[in-house]
Structure 1
Amino acid sequence: MAFQKGTLILADYTAKVKDTNEVFETTREADAKSGNVFDANVKYQPRLVSVGEAWVLKGLDDALLAASAGDKLTVEVPPEKGFGTRDPAKVRMIPLRKLGDDAEKVSVGDAIELDDRTGIIRFIGSGRVQVDFNHRFAGKTILYDVNVLKSLDTDQDKIMGLLRRRFPLDDSKLKFEIKGTQLDIAIPDEVLMMEGIQVVKRAIANEVFKFVSTLDKINFVESYTKAKPQEKPAEKKAEAAPAQPKAA
């Protein structure tokens, strides 16, 4: 039976550029290594997707809407349902000096930030630089190899999936408790000082309220453990100095 829009599912997948076979996104550690895109700081795990709600590219989203748990899919996503077609108007030639201190450092193929946009340098010469503000994969057909693992149907599974999406930690460190219409979420020690933690907490709350309709209150619990005092090494007792003979 096909998924309904808004169903939370877990999917394993690897995405490649069709004409070059370049791996640019994967949830699988083995594929990341074989595709030379492995990042030791990334936790490779199945992707949580709310089907039909633009959490992934439209071409993949459409395929997931027609899929069921356990399906294995090969999905071909054309540019118009992927990263868009190439727009020549997004390619600009600018004076090299506009890059300021970076003008002597950049080379063809580098990604740069300019006017609050990310662009790729395509050409440098005669004091000018050509910057392409199209998405890196604009005009490319994308191939997805997808394993649809399961849908998350219970409140417990939905909450765990949403926490795992925001906190890429081992499940053993993601703790929560449902008390009637209230949810208590323990903030893991590893993310207490994470930049933007307040924004992340708000995002988690909004998502949990959306997918678990029985809840009306969420508490985030932060715990701090008192550090144990370190034992000082035993000090040697000072030996009594020998008595000096009194002067006659």
Structure 2
Amino acid sequence: MEEKNKITLNEGDFLLVDYEVRIKDTNELLDTNIEEVAKKEKFVKEEIRFEPLLIILGKGYFQKYVEDEIIKNGIELGIKNTIEVPPQFAFGIRDPQKIKVINAKEFSKEGIIPRAGQRVKLGEQEVTIITVSGGRVVVDFNHPLAGKTIVYHIIARKKIEKPEEKVLYLVLRRIKGTKKEKINVKIEENSLTIIFKEDVLDYSELAPALKILLREIDEFMPYITNTKFIIEKEKPKEIQERNLG
């Protein structure tokens, strides 16, 4: 069958995607940015954003195995592309040696009453409690998804080519909650200007986000030698009318 909408991609290309992440054995949903899917399966996640996700291929913006497969094989636009990630490239192979017996006193030191099935933090590591018997607790130091094949359903929405649009989506990725219509990007020769509406100041992590954004602009657009951020404040309509009068 001819793949009419298939595109080839290289490391460093900008791609917008929608996605579902599932456990192959059970089809359990682990992550998604598709609102219909999340609502249907009553999936809840902190800071979930129902909008296409920006991936910069080969730069660690997404699951590495998935990025590598997209670069290797290309991807079809607008349809569901399925990529299976083997355990060794997902959450690791399950290691029997990571199942250990620990004295219950170690949990008491952390203020934990151990119960079978709990996922708790012990020292610097998270563990799963398997059984509790007297003063002995059997725990599993493997990741809960170790040994599982993870399935990624990817819908590629758009390959971003224009420099202004690349900057726009970098901004949207870093400054959570802002909208496209509240950002204006201008590039003239080697100078970049990003104009924000005043409500961008409500974002509590604005300063560190802008620092990361500057680093990304340096990395992905090395020809930009001057970057300027402008915050635009609009006067209330009644003041504008008074000034005109």
Tell me the equivalent position of 2:243.
none
Gap runs ≥5 in structure 2? 1-6, 237-245
Matched, 1:216 2:222: no
Could you say what secondary structure the match of 2:9 adopts? coil
- Which one of 190, 196, 199 corresponds to residue 189 of structure 1? 199
Give 1:91's aligned residue. Answer: 99
Structure 1 residue 25, shift from structure 2 partner:
0.9
Deviates further, 67-76 or 7-16: 67-76
Question: Normalized against structure 1, the TM-score is what?
Answer: 0.77
Q: How many residues align?
A: 225
Which sits farther off after the overlay, 16-25 or 134-143?
134-143
Cα offsets for 1:180-215 (capped at 9, x unmatched): 4232335663554524x4332222111122222321
Q: 3-state DSSP class of the match of 2:227?
A: strand
CA distance, structure 1, for counterparts of residue 159 and residue 74 of structure 2: 11
Q: Matched residues, percent identical?
A: 28
Q: Contact 1:181/1:214 (CA < 8 Å) preserved in 2?
A: yes
From 16, 34, 50, the equivalent of 2:56 is 50
Q: What residue in structure 1 maps to residue 137 of structure 2? A: 129
Counterpart among 32, 39, 44 of residue 38 in structure 1: 44
Counterpart check, 1:23 vs 2:29: yes
Q: Which residue of 2 aligns with 1:245?
A: none
Q: CA separation in 2, counterparts of 1:96 and 1:171?
A: 53
The whole-number CA distance in structure 2 between the counterparts of 1:92 and 1:31 is: 38
Q: Answer yes or no: is 1:119 the counterpart of 2:141.
A: no
1:22 is displaced (CA, Å) by 0.6
State the SS of the aligned residue for 1:103. coil
C-alpha distance in 1, partners of 2:143/2:136? 21
Preserved CA contact (<8 Å) 2:164 2:186: no
Q: Which runs of 5+ in 1 are unaligned?
A: 228-248
Q: In the aligned structure 2, how far is the partner of 1:221 from the partner of 1:121? A: 52
Task: Please say if residues 17 and 141 of structure 1, whose CA atoms lie closer than 8 Å, have aligned partners that are also in contact.
Answer: yes
Question: CA–CA distance in 2 between the matches of 1:109 and 1:221?
Answer: 52
Structure 2 CA distance for aligned equivalents of residues 219 and 166 of structure 1: 16
> Which is richer in strand?
2
